[in-house]
Structure 1
Amino acid sequence: MNQVNMGATYVVELFDKRTGVVLHRDVAKNLVPTEGLNAMANILFAGAAAPANLYIGLYGADYTPLPTVTAATLPALAGEITDYEQASRVLFVPDAVVAGAILNTANKAEFSFAAPDQVYGAFMSTNSTKGGTTGTLFSAVKFPTVKNVDADLALRVHAGFQFLSI
């Protein structure tokens, strides 16, 4: 039987909004939670409808995602951040699939803040509502280092999925 490894990769950049200069950059990888894997299998092999969109959100607790985390449990477990300036979770706008990868290279998600905050990680869900607990969680990742943001700093999130045959 052939197996496929599935993973999510995030590149997060902390940058100065006034100058555009990137102050810090991290790369983080995480497994897709079981809820996301089940959704993908149902979409690909069981005729389930694909979600219309995916959205990227942020969290502020020192939480390492587990395969059992879901869209219903993540906001409380991870302390979803809802005070960034965007009205909702940021739309994931993917590029064309290349070599088994789908990324948002041309349209990275950007988050700006009016007040200081600490960002520990990010996630991707079918629900656009900040703090929303419905839908499907396709990915969640803890960053290697906490991102301290404020009114002068913003985060840029480059995210996507990679499928590898093993």
Structure 2
Amino acid sequence: MDFPAMQAFRYAKSQVVLHWVAALVIAVMLLSGTFILSNLPNTPDKVGMLRIHMMMGMLVAVLILTRVVMGRMLPAPPVTVDQKKAHLVHIVLNLAVLLMAASGSVLALQSGLFDVVFGSGALPEDFKVFSARQVHGWVAKGVMALVALHVASALYHQFVLKDGVLARMTFRK
């Protein structure tokens, strides 16, 4: 399909907004979790950041579930063979992000974190002793790899194949 023809098959504006909001929040979560939270000692100063991280994690789960439901309800643009592969990557990426939210919730339950950040109590000495923390960390690395693959593929389509796939997820005319 050439660029003008591909451009005619866009996602709904609501899907575009959800995609970019979810992408932004996921990027912030991955960066803050990897480079800030994991390096901070478990002192009372960390509680506020953990509270924000947990609330944003819940937001990400809601955004992803909304995107999945919306994707089922709204007509999807026609797909090529490459886009079928991209669809598989999207499914795996969505599942991985939901696993991040689930493992974060399990970690919060295992460690008593809900009580600490939304009530009172002390942080555990180290989160790494909890199995859910190990899952959370490994899945985060997988999500980063999938996001990198997703971005690289979009850029490849945009600048090498010049097939207009990226335009389907924008508001450009």
TM-score bracket, normalised by the shorter chain, equals under 0.3
Name the TM-score, length of structure 1 as normaliser.
0.26
The structure richer in strand per residue is 1
The structure richer in helix per residue is 2
Decide which structure has the larger Cα Rg and report it: 2
